[in-house]
Amino acid sequence: MSDVSWQRPYKDELLSSWLARVALHSGCDPLTLTGAIWPKWRMWTADSDRGLTAPRAMSAALWFGCAPEVVHAATLQELVDRLAGRAARSRPVLPWILTLGIRNRQHYAGLPCCPQCLAYDREPFFRRAWRLAFVVGCEVHGTRLIDRCPDCHALIAPHLCISQLQSLARCATCGQDMRRYVPPPTEVDALDFQRSAMAVLAAGEAAWGNCTVSALEWFRRIRGMLIPSRCPVARADMQEPALRPNDLLLEMQSPREREARLCHLAAILRGDALPTSSYAKRKSGESVHPVAKELVQADWERWLRRNRLW
């Protein structure tokens, strides 16, 4: 692995994406590569993108010939600290960070991506920003993120790709190239809020009423407004199967459901009674993804047996 592009993650690349990408480039499965780096740790049975311990980051750094800081920078830990504070690191569900619902190597949620970004990449990779709960669309292409294969509707899980696929842009279940798919446009309200939230995250502070608050406080207040009773994912006039009432947290929902909530939130922040975005009626000709396998595994096994996490 003398090529520097394989010894470093791309800008904003997730740790899991980097490892899976290098594995496929090396002609092996991700499980084989991580087993060589961490012989006594089953990396893919945990959400390693949330952060690594210092010894594990050092093991990866020695393997790739880079500094441990490079490995840490590919995780979500720095974003978690800026969005929810260091104290939130130990929570089962991190505020504003999508949770994948990992059980062994299987996931209850897919890893979101923009197929068009994957198509333009020198080598397809998954961004850290796509794990943010308020990121529902691609700001470059204006299309909604997807978390399922457009062909077989399986959850997107790059870590399950086998070496024969040779690219993270291929579905690990059916092998189809997701780069051929062009998703529908993201709702304007949701994309505008997403841009505002990214600006607050970058600035570290934001205006709230007549005062300025820290980004940490701004995200805390906004998250409190996103409860289902105030920002539901479905209304009586919505017929899409992808939009139906459930009690999952924002961080556990699909891009389509989160997009609907953010549209409601944008309407509340404007002082409108109802959102003005066009998602209230199904767009003609828009393909709709089914809710999922067995109603998203019975809504994550009734929110993991009512929050006792099994």
Place of tokens 């409108």: 272
Averaged pLDDT, 293-300: 52
**pLDDT given at position 284:** 39
Amino acid at 258: R
- For residue 135, the SS3 value is coil
Place of tokens 């959850």: 155
Dist. CA 16–CA 256, nearest whole Å: 24
Place of tokens 């009674």: 273
* Residue-averaged pLDDT of the chain: 84
Dist. CA 191–CA 259, nearest whole Å: 8
The answer to whether the predicted template modeling score (pTM) of the entire model surpasses 0.75 is: yes
113/224: higher pLDDT: 113
pLDDT tens-digit map of 63-99: 999 999 999 999 999 999 999 999 888 888 899 999 9
pLDDT tens-digit map of 17-42: 999 999 998 899 999 999 999 999 99
18/273: higher pLDDT: 18
Amino acid at 38: W
